[in-house]
Chain A
């Protein structure tokens, strides 16, 4: 079993839709939870990071962590064509390396 599982998609939604991206994990030591966005032919860039359980909002993006269920989510409101990218969840615990999910490819259709 992989430490981090992420639905690979692809996910195709109309512009303006609410998008939900999810990951599950098995390592209880994970404390830091991140979402990276990767555009085609580019390197990943950090979109959001949260520590421990709870929600964090940044504009149209909301990151949610449920440590009891070992489940994290990223919600995108009012999705735009410019949101079309691959979204990778990532996690780390303490001094451990960052472990990435395999990524979900999102396409927002105008």
Chain B
């Protein structure tokens, strides 16, 4: 158990809809990272927050947004969903904003299916 909690574990929705994925980092970790994992693209970095502030942005679509709240939990909002958004979405956390050694602690993921 990594200590990172993600909800929901599974989500099935229709095209055009909006969903929110939630992540609680490990106790004491200030950074939250969101990754998308699909079969052909592997783990793609979406966005990082550190202590409530956006720290780095990756290949995140404009239809997607995220935030980190004062209690350090984070939410990833996906809107105007398309079939291609079907994937596993992982949240990871680390103590340092730099995750200097690259050690990230991952949750078990939220599997999104868009029909």
Contact = CB atoms under 8 A, between A and B. Distances in A.
Interface of A: 6, 32, 34, 41-46, 49, 51, 88, 90-92, 95, 97-103
| Interface SS of chain A | strand
A43 B99 contact: no
A19 B2 CA distance: 26
B45 A98 contact: yes
B102 A34 contact: yes
Given A43-B2, A49-B102, 12 more contacts: A32-B100, A34-B103, A42-B109, A43-B109, A44-B43, A45-B106, A46-B103, A90-B102, A97-B58, A98-B45, A98-B104, A102-B43
A3 B43 CA distance: 13
Interface residues of B, number: 26
